[in-house]
A and B are shown apart, each in its own frame.
Chain A
Amino acid sequence: VRAGAAALYGQVLVNEKWRGSAIAQGFQGKIKPIFEDGLGLVDFHLSNQTCVLYISETDMVVGNSYKRKLVRFQKATSLRGIVLVEKTRISEQYFQSVQKFVVLELGMTLLPVASQTEASQLLIQLVHEESKEHGHNPFRRKSRSNLAEPAVLAMVQQIPGVGKVKALALLQQFPSIHQLSNATTEELEVVVGRTIAQQIRTFFIQT
């Protein structure tokens, strides 16, 4: 495995063995393949951190040598490996055991494709994703606002006997959950009366 092979945005390093293949042809016009001879076990380099290994229908049917290849890959490098596997009517029966091995035992990513054509399209999307800045991935974005006011107010209202009006009054006196938990019955009485004050104390200290 050649470590640190960097691919520029919109490009993919392709193992020489794929020259002329359906996968390589599928890249035309979308991403630029750069064929390299010394990629070893790796089939495609998406970036200097991520690469792709391809398991064909034949590989799966023939035996377990693909497993040894993946284990060798993991031992040889700290690169993140994505495994593309040809899941066809013929190789389908092996899929679950391949998935178990690759994902659950080796901890790698596995993506099934039905053909080289599908693999080609998927690789294009994977390359596009690598080129994007992190801010452009909607799944990564944190939607949470930094204001905790609504949540804190809702939390105080979870205390039995405390509705919105009392909650606001309590938070006025004891502006944090921490402070509220340490208020004495006497201090609480002044704000919400004896009964609710006792309910609040009980809520916090009952075991």
Chain B
Amino acid sequence: DPSRTAMSSGSPAPCVLVDSREIASGPEVISCLRVKHGLRAEVCSLGGCNFIVSNRMAVERRTQSEISHSQNRGKLVERVQSLRAAFERVCLIVEKDRTKGETSRIIQRTRYYDSTLSALLGAGTRILFSSGQEETAGLLAELTRVEQRKNAAITVPLQVKGHRQQALQFYLTIPGVSYVSALNMCHRFRSVWHTVNSSVEGLAWGACVDPQRAEEIFRYFHYTFDAQLLPDRPTPGSSKRSL
């Protein structure tokens, strides 16, 4: 039975996956993580995620004003729904808006803000508050270390080279699978064949996911495809008027 702790002996710096869009929106966060907190921060395209701090936790970084306005509600809902599907733990860091000049713009606390926070809590989202990018980096570092203490740290190489890139993209098409689960599968299974032919328990080990998610991945690999069930494509000449 492969030892789970084999790869974590020798303790290299704990690592965080950072979405490439954070380079523009949170450059200080990234440099703080690396310089001040000594973490390995790997920047890549994470798709629907800001930060991944362990095998099971995603962290979403939003400004206070983003949470305060209902026009952003749809996107926030979509994001949290997809994060909850892919990750056991979802954390939101609410960061104070950056202000220009001396007058600190006090954001009026709205009923909408309170009800959004309440709903997020009701959905099991953890919430942390930060006054700026530096503090956000500090919170991310803390979360990473707490996850490490709970044996959930990312232990596989953060980069994928050569033909493993194809395997990574292959795994990323699985619905509800996170970037880090796909990364784990790339490194921890000998080949794609081994992943696809793995038992539920094997998938839980290889992808570093809970039994329920392992079950879903297993079912997906064994799912019987029926071309009739593909979504309808409009055929030329037929006019389907929407009601």
Contact = CB atoms under 8 A, between A and B. Distances in A.
Interface of A: 82, 95-96, 99-100, 103-104, 109-112, 114, 118, 121-122, 124-126, 128-130, 132, 134, 137-144, 147-155, 158-160, 168, 171-172, 175-178, 181-182, 203-207
Contacts of B175: 144, 148, 151
A103 to B, nearest CB: 6
Contact of B227 (A82, A171, A203): A171
A109 B176 contact: no
B94 to A, nearest CB: 9
Contacts of A111: 117, 127
Contacts of A168: 227
A151 B122 contact: no
26 contacts: A96-B138, A109-B126, A109-B127, A110-B127, A121-B114, A125-B117, A129-B122, A139-B122, A140-B123, A141-B81, A142-B84, A144-B176, A149-B225, A152-B220, A155-B173, A155-B174, A158-B166, A158-B169, A168-B227, A176-B221, A177-B220, A178-B196, A178-B221, A181-B193, A203-B163, A204-B196
Interface residues of B, number: 54
Nearest to A153: B230
A100 B139 CA distance: 8
Contact of B223 (A128, A143, A177): A177
Given A112-B129, A155-B170, 5 more contacts: A125-B111, A153-B230, A176-B224, A177-B220, A204-B193
A137 B135 contact: no
A112 B221 CA distance: 45
Contacts of A125: 111, 114-115, 117-118
B190 A104 contact: no
A207 B191 contact: yes
A169 B190 CA distance: 28
Question: Interface SS of chain A: helix, strand, loop or mixed?
Answer: helix
A137 B119 contact: yes
B126 A139 contact: no
B230 A149 contact: yes
B78 A149 contact: no
B197 interface: yes
B103 to A, nearest CB: 15
Contact of A160 (B123, B142, B166, B221): B166
Contacts of B82: 143
A95 B118 CA distance: 20
B111 A139 contact: no
A159 to B, nearest CB: 7
Contacts of A149: 225-227, 229-231
B123 A137 contact: yes
B146 interface: yes
A148 B142 contact: no
Interface string B71-85: 001000110111011
Nearest to B176: A144
Contacts of B193: 181-182, 204-205
B176 to A, nearest CB: 7
B23 interface: no
A138 B119 contact: yes
B44 interface: no
A177 B127 contact: no
A149 B166 CA distance: 21
